[in-house]
Structure 1
């Protein structure tokens, strides 16, 4: 969606903002690979203008959905759909992989997410919890845990009967191997295993993101001796891919006092000193107020009907002379990313390489802002050489959300 508005100093202003919707294209899923979608959204909030974080929108499932009382505030799990069969659980013996066993990569993993414009953001994710449910032969004996775990995993409360046992382990930020023994009398083959994961997701600042959907993924190998290893058994899948879908729905609006406002340059205090006393003004200036609503970064660029060196200009149509006009902008609540300073009297240029880019301090709603047009002394001196002359020109101000 493109918004296009105009205003001028005898200047026309337009503000095209490209709203991008990245469509997820279905693809072939590799054999023996499971994929989970992890979704998070950002929408600005009028009730909380400082809101600048993605909100998790993935449906809760797995261990914490089944046993919320065993999970801490903020814990979140999702069922993987993976399972393991022919898993021997043996109370005696020396093989740790035939006990309650978990080997997992709990390190932070970097994930690059991109939108349809190939704009990149950096996220991080790690597994902090693994929940498991075993089904066993129903002989009236629960195959629960026995003794403390080795390896640094922290246990959550287990739930079981003679035919199943469900529990979860916290995973530290590391590659870990954690083992507990089942009850001594246990010596059986597990009929199935369902397991879920809890994850922590660190997302970038959405105020600096373009509109649209960002996608990226991270893959864990699954199975005997892999990044996620639940012990010796037959695994339904050899990989688990976490697909990140981060949706950004910004709010952006620029409202000028008229659809095509005109700017008339004049000296401060009017023309009386020139008309009555012949005193030339030091400058000609006019401010153009507008209202800005935004939750996103954008740059501001100039387009000139008449170029005047590195600036836009206005032209005397009688003798085809052009004089320069400086343009600057003040945007309360926004920061110039080039120098880290508040956006106050920031110069605009027809050179896109010099275009300032601004970021909001939060969600700005109908913030009064100002464009200012100034003809300095050299321009005024040239114009006053031809009394009664008429000078004009269009200047287009572009509010551009794309880098």
Structure 2
């Protein structure tokens, strides 16, 4: 029977010490942090079996949502919810941080994300765009930009009127400091809000376990920090990007019966043994099944009668000596590769030893892929069984498909 599973100081010092501590506590200001959720998901697609990338599911907002015609296909921005107040622009001034100003860390940041089983994936993220919105009142002036920017940022067209002005700067993949003179000078308080555009690189989800993976990366914000929008009062000193990568795999194994049985027999039947006494070279039986998967998994055996690193069958005759003979089990799954040796999953031996269990990875999304388990008793096993004609040999073997080993 074959079963299938899815698987102290003195008192004189106390007064001044307490006073100094209270004074220090009075001036501590906790860091204010803003958080943004960035979500992406992988689901296999029957319409595109080669699909192996996460899809961004974060709602679009910010510059590219307001002005999609000014953004390229694939550009994505999200509002930070942060602001800078008392921000002034001096067209003829010398302080670059009182002009159109942006300092940004556009380098790739490594992020480790983990699921509930503590399985890790490695992702990378970087800022490629900062979109800014100025609210400067309504006095008939427009503090639009003037001239080319220094520092290597490429500007995108500004849009607005006297009270509101939006524009964006592309950020290269390094640390940039970009300055541009305003067309008008404002010496009144202005409020600046901003959005960010990001690129996200994710690993191959076909090699990931199911579940939600989370991790984060934090940027400092303010004067001389990783994101610096110029002189002003910042609502927050940190911006944390919370990554949520959701993997929803498809994994199904279908056999012809719920508890399939295997009858070992010689190729061509038993007639040569019965009629002529010629022992068969081996006994064998194949068991077909269909596999649907978009993920890695391993396969191993659980045995009623262990035999070496595999399973066996035992003589159940009343006068038997509990002899057990081995039955080799291998699997063939077209479109799968054995990660242990890089070979196709063809006649790959299965074992009851976890250290030898093969782990397979799909070439893409496999749907209803016809596959085969093969059970073989070789010559030595056959010879042992034939020593007791009329004997009955059997044993239960469980084939475990383990997607989370």
Partner of 1:352: 354
Partner of 1:207: 206
CA distance, structure 1, for counterparts of residue 375 and residue 66 of structure 2: 63
CA distance, structure 2, for counterparts of residue 389 and residue 203 of structure 1: 58
Q: Per-residue deviation at 1:270?
A: 0.6
Structure 1 position 336 matched with structure 2 position 338: yes
CA distance, structure 2, for counterparts of residue 298 and residue 395 of structure 1: 19
Partner of 2:224: 225
Q: Which secondary structure state, in structure 1, belongs to the residue aligned with residue 280 of structure 2? A: coil
Q: Which secondary structure state, in structure 1, belongs to the residue aligned with residue 2 of structure 2? A: coil
CA distance, structure 1, for counterparts of residue 129 and residue 207 of structure 2: 31
Q: Per-residue deviation at 1:395?
A: 0.5
Q: Following superposition of structure 1 onto structure 2, how do residues 142-157 of structure 1 map, counting pairs within 5 Å? A: 142-157=142-157
Structure 1 position 11 matched with structure 2 position 30: no
Residue number among 359, 382, 385 corresponding to 1:383 in the alignment: 385
Q: 1:49·1:364 contact (CA, 8 Å) conserved in 2?
A: yes
Partner of 2:325: 323
CA distance, structure 1, for counterparts of residue 153 and residue 34 of structure 2: 25
Q: 2:88·2:190 contact (CA, 8 Å) conserved in 1?
A: no
Q: Which secondary structure state, in structure 2, belongs to the residue aligned with residue 87 of structure 1? A: coil
Q: 1:90·1:98 contact (CA, 8 Å) conserved in 2?
A: yes
Q: Which secondary structure state, in structure 1, belongs to the residue aligned with residue 188 of structure 2? A: strand
Q: Per-residue deviation at 1:108?
A: 0.4
Q: Which secondary structure state, in structure 2, belongs to the residue aligned with residue 65 of structure 1? A: helix
Q: 1:132·1:195 contact (CA, 8 Å) conserved in 2?
A: yes
CA distance, structure 1, for counterparts of residue 43 and residue 189 of structure 2: 46
- For residues 173-225 of structure 1, give each alpha carbon's deviation from its aligned partner in whole angstroms, at most 9, with x where no partner exists: 00110110111x41323421110000000011111111110001000001111
CA distance, structure 2, for counterparts of residue 288 and residue 190 of structure 1: 78
CA distance, structure 1, for counterparts of residue 4 and residue 57 of structure 2: 38
Q: Per-residue deviation at 1:310?
A: 1.7
Q: Unaligned 5+ residue runs, structure 1?
A: 1-9, 17-29
CA distance, structure 1, for counterparts of residue 76 and residue 155 of structure 2: 16
CA distance, structure 2, for counterparts of residue 55 and residue 190 of structure 1: 41
Q: Following superposition of structure 1 onto structure 2, how do residues 155-234 of structure 1 map, counting pairs within 5 Å? A: 155-183=155-183, 185-234=184-233
CA distance, structure 1, for counterparts of residue 344 and residue 374 of structure 2: 16
Partner of 2:130: 130
Q: 1:89·1:190 contact (CA, 8 Å) conserved in 2?
A: no
Q: Per-residue deviation at 1:31?
A: 5.1
Q: Which secondary structure state, in structure 2, belongs to the residue aligned with residue 125 of structure 1? A: strand
Moved beyond 6 Å, runs of 4+: none
Q: Per-residue deviation at 1:362?
A: 1.0
CA distance, structure 2, for counterparts of residue 189 and residue 89 of structure 1: 9
The alignment yields a C-alpha RMSD, in angstroms, of 1.0
CA distance, structure 2, for counterparts of residue 89 and residue 352 of structure 1: 67
Q: How many residues align?
A: 380
Q: TM-score, normalised by structure 1?
A: 0.93
Structure 1 position 260 matched with structure 2 position 259: yes
Q: Unaligned 5+ residue runs, structure 2?
A: 8-29
CA distance, structure 1, for counterparts of residue 162 and residue 42 of structure 2: 46
Q: 1:115·1:214 contact (CA, 8 Å) conserved in 2?
A: yes
Q: Which secondary structure state, in structure 2, belongs to the residue aligned with residue 152 of structure 1? A: coil
CA distance, structure 1, for counterparts of residue 187 and residue 201 of structure 2: 41
Determine which structure has the larger helix proportion and give its number: 2
CA distance, structure 2, for counterparts of residue 303 and residue 136 of structure 1: 72
- For residues 16-50 of structure 1, give each alpha carbon's deviation from its aligned partner in whole angstroms, at most 9, with x where no partner exists: 1xxxxxxxxxxxxx851100000111111111111
Q: Which secondary structure state, in structure 2, belongs to the residue aligned with residue 386 of structure 1? A: coil
Q: Which secondary structure state, in structure 1, belongs to the residue aligned with residue 88 of structure 2? A: strand
